[in-house]
Amino acid sequence: MTAATLTIDLSAIAANWRALDKLTECETAATIKADAYGLGVEKVGPALAEAGARLFFVALAEEGVRLRRVLGPGPGICVFSGHMPGDADMIRQADLAPMINSVDQLLTHVEALPGHPFGIQLDSGMNRLGMEPAEWSALRDIALAQQPVMVMSHLACADEPDHAMNRLQLDTFEEMTRGVEAPRSLAATGGILLGEKYHFDLTRPGVGLYGGLPFIDATPVVTLDVPVIQVRDVAAGESVGYANAFVARKLTRVATVAAGYADGLIRAMGGEATFTYEGHRLPVIGRVSMDLITLDVSGIAQTPEHVQLMGQHQSVDTVAEFAGTIGYEILTSLGARYDRVYVT
Ligand SMILES: *Cc1c(COP(=O)(O)O)cnc(C)c1O
């Protein structure tokens, strides 16, 4: 067996959902877009439903269809991108609630699926999705008369608690939703941590469920163990890997391990990155290749069968830092080639 093993702890995901739920008085949904942040919606969806989530968010109608197949009838499934051309059949058949982003989307929706549930997405300052204040004030009475299932918006800077943008968006959202009877939702993971004012009626965490920052108290979810294929001694002056990017200054013991950028371990993480073995750090040397990475294992006496990139000693955010990115990107880049093991 040469494939690296990606172990996904479903009970940790359930524990993270319950921990985030405990931080608020309101309902807690689950954001499960992009195949549950790369961890597999077929397993993660039922685990979250079992933990108590009754409402789920996805990015695309196609993802909603897949999630409905997994969850069966009952739980609510909301679609951030709203109602796009060609979505009507999926929305109806899979009983999805599109988060309507514009006047055009509202017209498309009520024309194609009159009476079918929908929500409203407002732009409170991020300028990415949702109706802007002027558009909303023109449409508000007509839209509210159709009894949307929720009115929501999204925070741009919630992972920085002291950022002035948070307060600004909170004020804008409150202003835009004053007198609205439908449930209101502003907070994702970061917003939950900003405190009660940001919670409204419903939160919709994503990354915190999967063990990522800004949920610093998250239970780790992902472990990545990579088999060692070969170990060799490299003499001073010899080089390792593409472009001779590493040249040994002294005798160096080099392990070649079975994962690379085709598995989501992006080239940018070379240089800074370390793997671990029983608590020892093993520096990545040379270039990350498509299927292989080389490590300096001179610091350990044993020849390990496996080394670890993510797990007890290094979090997904530590690995993200090696590559100058965020945990979200590392998770959603995890490749299809791993042997995926789900533990409960
Ligand atoms: C992705 C997303 C979420 C979840 O965000 P996290 O930071 O992962 O908790 C919530 N709402 C919207 C609109 C999103 O796009």
Q: What is the pLDDT of residues 142-156, one digit of tens each?
A: 999 999 999 999 999
Q: Has residue 23 got a pLDDT over 90?
A: yes
Q: Whose CA is nearest to atom 6 of ligand 1?
A: 206
Residue 179: inside a domain: yes
Ligand 1 pocket at CB < 6 A: 31, 33, 80, 154, 188-190, 204-208
Phi, psi of 285 (to 5 degrees): -120, 150
Residues 254, 165 share a domain: no
pTM: 0.96
CATH number at 249 reads 2.40.37.10
| pLDDT value of position 270 | 86
Residues 140, 180 share a domain: yes
Residue 104 to residue 76: CA distance in whole angstroms: 24
Residues 228, 206 share a domain: no
In this predicted model, what pLDDT tens digit does every residue of 44-88 receive, in sequence order? Answer: 999 999 999 999 999 999 999 999 999 999 999 999 999 999 999
The residue-averaged pLDDT of 92-110 equals 97
| pLDDT value of position 172 | 98
Annotation says 33 is catalytic = yes
pLDDT confidence bin for 258, thresholds 50/70/90:
very high
pLDDT confidence bin for 1, thresholds 50/70/90:
confident
Residues 292, 188 share a domain: no
Q: Whose CA is nearest to atom 13 of ligand 1?
A: 154
Phi, psi of 152 (to 5 degrees): -130, 160
Q: Has residue 133 got a pLDDT over 80?
A: yes
Instruction: From the candidates 33, 210, 277, 328, give the one annotated as an active-site residue.
Output: 33
Residue 122: inside a domain: yes
Residue 217: inside a domain: no
Between the two ends of the chain, the Cα-to-Cα distance in Å is 23
Phi, psi of 57 (to 5 degrees): -120, 135
Annotation says 242 is catalytic = yes
DSSP helix/strand/coil, 118: coil
Residue 2: inside a domain: no
Higher-confidence residue: 214 or 2? 214
The C-alpha angle with vertex 201 and arms to 196 and 204, in degrees rounded to 5, equals 85
Residues 245, 177 share a domain: no
Q: Has residue 313 got a pLDDT over 90?
A: yes
Residue 1: inside a domain: no
Residues 338, 299 share a domain: yes
Residue 235: inside a domain: yes
In this predicted model, what pLDDT tens digit does every residue of 271-309 receive, in sequence order? Answer: 889 999 999 999 999 999 999 999 999 999 999 999 999
